[in-house]
Structure 1
């Protein structure tokens, strides 16, 4: 097992969700100063500093980056994402179910929002020493590993996120030699996102958020700059594009 990497300050976007909150708690237990971001801006743990952001409002993300510029993070985690939309629209099982409005919403949350976070937060990461940017992605975003089809908007929006992560990693390598920029697949976690899809899963496949956070941090600890631009699962295995 890799030794724990020292993280002085972490900014977590989506800290009110199950995985984001668990990641914040685990990092806080390590002694990391945690900035916990949500739409309300209220930190659920008194140890954390809350901040407000909205994935659909770039100005709110830019304001967060400006506020953090004097004491910037050395780790940024994007723990946001959507599978079932707010109106109840779930992942499409057939191309006949595609709707432009639903696709746009999936891409706005799963792709464009994280990209805008990267736009404003990546420049804050330290140029000397280790810096980390990670965004939650999904195994089903793998094009080469897709044998079932369906879930069109979710798969496509996360695959697009993976491409952006690759692009950001290439760009960051030019100026931040110690930076690691990756996508992270947490597995099936017992959160609101996965609840509608847990009934047919085998026992033990669904893990609680605290365990998922521990798994992801163990993977993060093991990663080096040469791993930048890739997608890793909760066991540390690279997922093919």
Structure 2
């Protein structure tokens, strides 16, 4: 959905095709981690929820659009962002959803409005540390919230399918790339990273073997100070080496 800062809502619905590419949009699955669960940032319009998204301006690339949308929605600069897939079923449009809500903005619903046409979505996913984000709603959104990926609420169109595909893709990607640190604070412990991987993969991992595998990559820098929040033996904290960040 569009993030409108300065454009009048009525003008957007009637003349948005003069600023945005018709039939093409971008949706981003923003994944966070809290309470040992994967979370997904959603926005609510009416009774259902949807992914943060927007349309692609005539003068920007699809990658620039996805990055802009993500920054506008989370407040993060240079956030992690990875292409997911294209969603473009022949019947993919939001005409009925818009018909229900346009009257709230004093806009007459017309079948031939550009916003009612079929839209193909270029979907991305992003891993974020939730405390670093500052989610906001746009003029069309009524609320935002973080939801467990295992317990998603009723969602618009195919947005649930997009979110679940992102989770599946994340499980595949972490077997090849070290990206999960984006879900944690800048400084973290190996037990925290180990638990995160268990949650993502939904299976138990041998802690000692996992730590050896992680340290063998050379991507982690051990910090000199020990974590003092727990009794007994305190694990070392680590961070990603600056020249190794993904």
Q: TM-score, normalised by structure 1?
A: 0.27
Task: Report which of the two has the higher share of helix.
Answer: 1
Indicate the structure (1 or 2) with the bigger Cα radius of gyration. Answer: 2
TM-score by length of 2: 0.26
